[in-house]
Each structure stands twice: as C-alpha cells, then as structure tokens.
Amino acid sequence: MAKPKTLFYCQNCGTSYSKWQGKCTSCNQWETIVEEIIARETTQSLWRDKKSKQAKAIRIDEINDENNAPRYETSSYEFNRVLGGGIVAGSVILVGGEPGVGKSTLLLQVALTMPIKTLYISGEESEHQIKMRADRVRKNKQSNCLVFTETNTQKIFSQIKSIQPQLVIVDSIQTMYSETIEASSGSISQIRQCASEWIDYSKKSNTPVMLIGHITKEGNIAGPKIMEHMVDVVLQFEGDRNHLFRTLRAYKNRFGSTAELGLYEMAQGGLREISNPSQVLISKHENLLNGTAISSIVEGIRPFMIEVQALVSVAIYGTPQRSSTGFNVKRLHMLLAVLEKRVGFKLATKDIFLNITGGITVNDPAIDLAVIMAILSSNENINIGSHFCFAGEVGLSGEIRSVPKIDQRVNEAEKLGFKNIFLSKYNNISTTPKKINIQQVSNIEEAVKFLYK
C-alpha cells in the first residue's frame, strides 16, 4: 500500500512546506504549521456550463456587457447599502463573525425574503433546526428558499444542476469537503479547494454565492488568507453577545465602498434593522451626568450621533489603568498625552475608562473632541449640557483639525434637537443652519474654556 502524500500548511496564511518547522517564513507566525494528508487534485472542473466557450484574449472595447445582470436587492436596506446597492450576479461574498453573533440568522432572513429562487446549503444544522429558525424570523409563509443539508461538494453541485438556483448561500465554508483531496473537513487545503470550487461555479454560471466563514480567536476568518483575496466581497458581522446591537461592515468590496456601516438589533423575531441609529445610541437621562459627551460621526454616507462615556478616578493600585470599549486604546493614550502636554491636565496617576454606548466600534477620527470633553468632564466633575455635541479631530499639537462631510453632521445634530455643535475653525460650512449654533474652535484650550463658563 502506497504511503499517503502529506504536506505541511500554515494555518494563518496557507503557505505549504515539505517538512515541519516552527515558524512560517511567509507570515512570521510561530506554531501555525500543521500536517495534512493530500492527494493529487483533479484538473476537471466540477461545474461545466454548456454555453461556455474557449477563452481568448480580446480588446477591452470589444467586451460585450449586455449579459451583465442587475443587482439583486434584498429586503434589508442595511444589507443592500453595505454591499453597494445589492447582490451582484456572479459575485462571491464571504461573511465572517464570531460564534452566536447572528451570521446564519442574517443570511437566512435574506434567503427567505428574496424574490428569486434561493438555495440555502447548511452543513451545521438539520432541516428541522432551520425550519424552526425560519418560523421564528419570517413574517410571511411564502418563500422561494430551498434548503439542502449536505457537506460533500460533489453531491451539492449535482443537486444544483437539477435545481438551477439564482442565489446560493453556504453555511459554512469550513464544513464543506471535496473528494478531490484527502484532507479532513475544515483543514487549510479543504477550505482552499472548496472555496475555489464555489468561485469557479459562481463565475461560470453567473450565480451569486454567499459563504459564511468562521473566525479564529484573533478575530480573523479561519482558513488561508488567500481565500479573502479570491472572493469579491468580505463582510464582517460584529457585535457583543451581551449587547443587542450588531454591525455589518465591508472590509473588501469590488462593487462598492468599504466605508458603509449597517446596524441591526437582535430581537426575539430575528435581526431588526435600525434606520435611525441616533435615537438608540444616545442614552436618555433624567438628570445631567458628568463624563458623557455626544459626538456627530459619519460611517460611509450615514451621519449619526453617538454617546461617549468616560470615568476618571484615582489609581488605587499604583499603576493607572487605561481601558477602552469601542475606541482604539492606542489613540486614547495619544489623546491623554496631548491633554497633559498641551493643556496641563495631570492624568498620569489616574485610572481612565472609556466606553462607546451600544457596543459598537467607531473609527471616525471626528470622535476625538467628544472623547477629550468626556474625560475632562469626568475629571473636573462638570456636566456637559444635553444640547451640546462635538465633531473634530485632535492633532498632536493640540489643534482641532477639520473633518469631512461637515454639513451632514450639522444637519443630523440639528434634526435631533441639539442647540450647539463644536467644530474645527478650519471647517467650511456651505449651509447656514437655523436651529443650531456653530461654535468653531482652533485648539483644545478654546474647547476647554467652554467647561468653565
């Protein structure tokens, strides 16, 4: 009996080696190389389109774009906006997220409400489990969704040839396995092979495919990194299971912007879209509290208001703590250094805790000014009025830098009833609002004077 052929793969980047070694020379990670049994891969494609012709090089002006199908719009406005307007025909979309965050629920809701024939393939749940979830999340009983529970790609493609679906959802890519290689399900080689087969099917049949992917403890999608380069769109479904809110972000999108953000709320009947995030991300307080400030941020083309909470106290254990939830802790350290160097506030011996309400993560630098004001409000025990909001980036020299899309930020603040908004002196506002006062400041010192009025 012939000895099975084995190779060693890096679980982080997918690089193959003929023998084991402790460190991957490609991604410089330690203890990520594992041994896998493989066989020679078949060169025959699992999916053959009868209309496909032999490929040849042609001029770009001669390419016929009449066969380009329009985008398939889903019933979820948030999902469509993150994708750039809907699902593009022939595209491969990879959706990643932590266990239990709601990836399967999100795509099942999409499958149940699509007007086209959709095939939902599950390698993790039975038909009865999917039916129970579908009865809980769907509102109407009519659906074009077909369910197939299988992990063998050869059997799946055989079923696809008879069904001819217009949209395929795979839950999940890590549970699929192909008979062309002898590696176990979930291994690097199997994930790469199965992903290649789905991409090959999608491009040759012009059928969109959505893949659900597990993530590692570091937060990256499990499997070789090359899989993210092969697909067209990479979405990340984020959220803390202890919070109700979930965010959908695009980390790669060949058909739209990667700056958009979709916001959902996990409810008993599934995921509910949040059309006005400002209403739910700002806490309702009967009395004014110190350590809170409201910021006007923009994600993609959507402006909304968000609450920043800070707590400053004396360090009891000698070593000051710096903790941040929803905000980059390294940027928090930078802002604290600017406060101490440029303004003179002595915060080196105090514990500082920062929290962005709602459990979401904010990357917009315009939140810097609100973070500064929340920290100073808690440190000085001075309340910031509920009708004040902030939008400005803080530089290392203490200046308040201008931020883009300032008109949208001001309009959103005015719509929600804020009376004053603090902006950078260097922002040019094209419109003159009627119900909100614009306070323009050039540095932190001018903004701090507001607290001592």
The pLDDT tens digits of the residues spanning 119-139 come to 999 998 999 999 999 988 876
pLDDT at 387: 87
| Residues 284-319: tens digit of each pLDDT | 665 567 899 999 999 888 888 999 999 999 888 778
- What is the spatial distance between Cα 445 and Cα 115, in angstroms, rounded to a whole number? 57
pLDDT at 431: 77
Q: C-alpha angle 268/271/272, rounded to 5°?
A: 95
pLDDT at 287: 58
Distances (CA, A) of 272 to 3, 142, 243: 54, 20, 14
Distances (CA, A) of 69 to 52, 87, 156, 305, 374: 17, 10, 24, 37, 50
Smallest CA-to-CA distance from 369 within 428, 310, 318, 453 is with 310
- Domain 74-275 classification at class level: alpha beta
pLDDT at 117: 93
Say if CB 356 and CB 294 are below 8 A apart.
Answer: no
pLDDT at 406: 92
Fold of 279-452: Ribosomal Protein S5; domain 2 (3.30.230)
- What is the spatial distance between Cα 10 and Cα 28, in angstroms, rounded to a whole number? 10
**Phi-psi map region of 190: left, alpha, beta (phi>0 left; psi -120 to 50 alpha):** alpha
- Helix locations, 206-230, DSSP H: 226-230
Q: Which residues of the chain have pLDDT under 50?
A: 1, 40-44
Domain locations along the chain: 1-39, 74-275, 279-452
